A and B are shown apart, each in its own frame.
Chain A
């Protein structure tokens, strides 16, 4: 699974989450916008965290060197 595939998965999860929040807790346009903002922020945070860690391991400059005991 490459970077873009997982990003797409994140996006889809976000869409599903936004839709389900919209369906479950419908409370007028302003409340819905608020919920939508929360979902978008959460997904963005999670995606950034994942993307950073993923990219950092994409082309490793250092590799794991096992310790002597093992």
Chain B
């Protein structure tokens, strides 16, 4: 609470200049009064600048009530047309060319007309070509029917003729003897009584053909004859335009009733019917005719397509420019809608947040806009004072951006609060590397990220897949992680789990030349300690695991205590920056004392134990420090005066808990009362100021001081810190667990896969072993382990580190900028 501008004075005090990225940029609320004739251009220039976040001054109005609702609707319509063009282009396989070099300037109105014309033309061309295509497909089907059915007719006819001849030949012999002459004659002679056979021909989809036949059979009670022939290639259906496997069919029926039934069934089954003549000669003629028509249509369609493609290509040349322009205009009108119209309707008023450093740039943009729009009156730029909390804005570059995003994913920093991002840049990859320490794997990771970094320019313009995109975005984080992994790998002395004697000779050797005791008593330290990292002799020995466990556990605690202390120190800088002495004396100091009198002391004990080589049991020391602090330490004593020190530390820890809890709420209450008293005796101010003051009061003066609320808040905070000190320290043990898991896994892959395959002395088994090893290394160690170590490092930063000082309840600065426009819509 309080005035943010006076607080900005906190900067620059002390020894050092302000640090980049530690505090968010100082912001100011600005008011700009723009003459209405230059409003559009002004907003456009400010969008180019991209350093002003407009406030919505018409929040109470619905989108339709706003001044420029109409223009936005027009822009939306144009955007729809452009989307239609894009769809057509992707269908035709034309990609819009990149921004053309010749930036012809078009008016928005002209563009609207042009887009409308183009759309109408394109739709017409499309409908025409669709019609033609349909006719073409129908003709193709017709041709198929003619061919297939014609074949059928021809074969049937020829067999019928043969039969007829046979019958005739038959009749010559015995017809005159047996058969009743009259009957035969009657049938042949009386065609009026003969049942007339009709037929329907067409195409039916193959998968429906069985059902089609069955239904036909039932509907006509078997009084029909169906002949189906499958068409070899799928046929384009004229109605749907899809490729479907079809059968050519011919149905013979008798009677008008059957005909209507059959026609209905055909319709229901989507069977296209085509007329057919019985006469074979006529059929041939028809085929010729249809083929002619088909080729004619084909050329027409091709010409139409070429015309359409040309049109789309022409659109493609300017598409990006238009698209961008429409987007810009739309966003400009959206912004203009946020401005409030003056009563006289001669000017608009804009309010917004802008970084203090951008003041000159904004003013310059305003001047240019006034000049370019030939406005008589210039815009008025003034800074407003407000109690509202400004947005948080960090100026990041491509390197720091990804780290800042890691922090922002947890919560955007409160305005000007210390940004953990500064330390995250180093500590995040470092803690990752503590869990991922293997310089072989580190090199693999580094090579992969270097690929991304060297091809940065090319890749950043491309559209990547989800996962690649994410990896690419975090390439610098990955690079730092890989570099620290190489370092910690050298410390752990692991290269794909194999140790090397890179930094001199091992400190250990056999006790005697025969080396008899090496497997029972162990080696003995003969030289000075291995200078850099873990001694290579440990690897593969029986005591490796106990040693590494003890080392890594203590390492985790030491690193954790150090990082938590850093967090608490940052809370001091926060309190100092915001000039909050209460937080320094009643939060920072007792917290520091509490953490260090318990876990700082533990860290001290660890180091003393290492330096002196004492055999004291640290668990025992720590536990009995609480249970019976006055008891004698006995053999667990590490240094003289330890008991007194422990008593003092224990007392300090006990004192610091109520110290954290009680004074702050009480002092806050006192402060509040003092302020209140002062107010009731304040001098009467002149009218203008008191008016302002009253306004201020109505906005935030309502806060009554609720002591119980403040106290409960402080109680929660204290409990959280006290319990957190224990649980957070324990939480750092994940460093130990994950780094152990990583090294064990990699040694399993190395020994059980690679060395085992090597032992067989068989080239094929060796190759298989190598392949399995490579895949296991990449899949499990490089991908999954990276992910899990990443997540654990993330947690350690978000929870264990940031909860010491970081509030993270700010909101991000989102300026009106054309440069940021492109991504959000696609």
Contacts and interface: CB of A to CB of B under 8 A. Distances in A.
Interface of A: 1-2, 6, 29-31, 33-34, 37-38, 41-42, 45-46, 48-50, 52-68, 70
A34 B21 contact: yes
B533 A50 contact: yes
Interface of B: 16-22, 422-423, 425-427, 430, 434, 484, 487-488, 491-492, 507-508, 518-525, 528-535, 537-538, 540-544, 546-547, 550-551, 554-555, 558-559, 562, 607, 610-613, 615
Contacts of A46: 430, 487
A56 B610 contact: yes
A67 B19 contact: no
Contact of B540 (A6, A60, A67): A67
Nearest to A55: B610
A57 B551 CA distance: 9
Nearest to A57: B529
Given A37-B423, A49-B434, 16 more contacts: A2-B528, A33-B16, A34-B22, A37-B19, A41-B427, A46-B430, A48-B562, A49-B555, A50-B532, A55-B607, A57-B507, A60-B525, A64-B522, A64-B547, A65-B543, A66-B540
B611 A63 contact: no
A53 B19 contact: no
30 contacts: A33-B18, A33-B19, A34-B20, A34-B422, A37-B19, A41-B426, A42-B430, A45-B426, A45-B427, A48-B558, A49-B430, A49-B487, A49-B559, A50-B532, A52-B559, A53-B491, A54-B531, A55-B607, A60-B613, A61-B615, A62-B547, A63-B508, A63-B522, A63-B543, A64-B535, A65-B521, A65-B541, A66-B519, A66-B522, A66-B542
Contact of B523 (A31, A52, A61, A64): A64
B19 A65 contact: no
A39 B815 CA distance: 32
7 closest Cβ pairs, A-B complex: A59-B613, A65-B522, A34-B20, A29-B17, A64-B541, A41-B426, A63-B522
Contact of A56 (B492, B522, B554): B554
A58 B491 contact: no
Nearest to A41: B426
A49 B491 contact: yes
Contacts of A45: 426-427, 430, 484
Nearest to B510: A66
Contacts of B547: 62, 64
Contacts of B544: 64
A37 B400 CA distance: 14
A59 B616 CA distance: 13
A53 B524 CA distance: 18
A54 B532 CA distance: 7
B73 to A, nearest CB: 47
B13 to A, nearest CB: 14
Contact of A65 (B491, B520, B529, B550): B520
A50 B16 CA distance: 30
Contacts of B423: 37, 41
